[in-house]
Amino acid sequence: MSSVLFDAPGPRTRRRIAVVNVVGALVVLGVLAWVIWGLAQKGQLTAAKWNPFLTETVWADYLLVGLWNTLRAALIAIVTANAFGLLFGLGRLSQSRLVRGVCGTVVEFFRAVPVLIMMIFFWQLFSYVPGPWMAAPPFYGVVFGLTLYNGSVIAELVRSGVQNLPRGQREAALAIGLTRSKSLRLVEVPQALIAMMPSMVSQLVVILKDTALGYIITYSELLRSARLVGSTFANYVPALIVAAVIFIVINYTLTWLAELLARRLSKRTAGGTRPAELTPADAGE
């Protein structure tokens, strides 16, 4: 491995690294064994706790229903968040100072407020204000919270996507006689969107993870149905482990897809296509 931190190792260092490697592996295995032993001691590894996951009911009546609710909220939110993000991202690039100011305030506001706070607010709003949403306030709470928060993050992606393009792109567009707005619409935004694509796929991971906040506002998503399995079959710990595995498999696949896209698309834009690094709640600029 080439790193700024290390010289190419000589024979003595290689021996030392080998020793550290073996000791490290033993420590890791030790920790794993301790966790498994602990779970076994508490009777968490018995067949009775795990067999329910081999039955059809647990999947058909609980986990798949929850997974569907998770995916449904996430898919709708990604569409609405992208619409919101595109609108306000372009607003922040507007030539009018007023539009820029308003869009900037909206975006900064929704980025500063925790998603859960927004979800709780909309959940309660939709249970008091009459309308079609009264049938499912938790669902609308989740979708609105996710849309406003992730839409604001995407707005920043749009803005930084356009601003990261080389200046020559706009200069060339203006030179061949396009107006500012035409240059934006025909030359800059399409490239920025392609440059953003990997970051947007990473943002999907954030949205999918954040649907689990719906658990707190009683939306019956995957985590809530896993908890229901736990209370029905008295196997909370295995149920949470299974839910975690499902989340990890889906998100890991999406992350992999983001990297694949970044490699595939890099030739189609003058801006970079590296997917944004995930931070705990958002994929920042």
Partner 1 sequence: MGGYLADMAELLGSYNLIGAFWVNIQLTFWSALFAFIIGTVLAVMRVSPAPSLRWAGATYVNLVRNTPLTLIILACSLGLWGQLGVILATNEAGRVDITSNSFRLAVLGLSAYTAAFVCESLRSGVNTVPAGQAEAARAIGLGFGQSMRMIILPQAIRGAIAPLGNTLIALAKNTTVAQAAGVVQAASVMATMIEFRPDLMVAIFLVIALGWVIIVLPIGLVSTYLSRRLGVAR
Give the interface with partner 1 as residue ranges (CB under 8 A). 1-7, 9, 13, 17, 20-22, 24-25, 28, 38-39, 42, 44, 109, 112-117, 120-121, 124-125, 128, 205, 209-213, 215-216, 223, 227, 230, 236-237, 240, 243-244, 247-248, 251-252, 255, 277-282, 284
Judge contact between 190 and 120, C-beta under 8 A.
no
Specify the residue, 80 or 251, whose C-beta has the smaller distance to partner 1. 251
Which of 5, 176 has the CB closer to partner 1? 5
Q: How far is the CB of 4 from partner 1 (least distance, A)?
A: 4
Residue type, 254: L
Q: Of 96 and 109, which CB lies nearer to partner 1 in the complex structure? A: 109
Is 24 or 190 the residue whose CB approaches partner 1 more closely? 24
**Token pair for residue 15?**
């021996």
Nearer to partner 1, 1 or 98 (CB): 1
Euclidean distance between CA atoms 153 and 165, whole angstroms: 19
| Nearest-10 crossing angle of helices 97-112, 64-92 | 150
Beta carbon of residue 178, minimum distance to partner 1 (angstroms, whole number):
33
Which residue reads 């997974």 in tokens?
67
In this complex, which beta carbon is closest to partner 1, that of residue 13 or of residue 96? 13
And the tokens for 270?
């003058």
Euclidean distance between CA atoms 198 and 261, whole angstroms: 6
Instruction: Tell me the C-alpha distance between 45 and 85, whole Å.
Output: 46
Cα radius of gyration (the chain): 24
Judged by beta carbon, residue 177 or residue 280, the one nearer partner 1 is: 280
Question: Phi then psi for 221, rounded to 5 degrees?
Answer: -90, -170
Find, among 119, 137, 120, the residue nearest to 128 by Cα: 137
The residue behind tokens 């491995």 is 1
Minimum distance, C-beta of residue 100 to partner 1, in the bound complex (Å): 19
Residue closer to partner 1, measured from CB, 183 or 227: 227
The distance of closest approach from Cβ of residue 78 to partner 1 in the complex, given in angstroms and rounded to an integer, is 16
CB of 280 to partner 1, least distance (A): 4
Identify the CA nearest to 152 among candidates 189, 113, 198.
113
Q: What is the secondary structure of 44-60 as a DSSP string?
A: -SSHHHHGGGGSHHIII
- Distance between CA atoms of 82 and 88, rounded to whole angstroms? 10
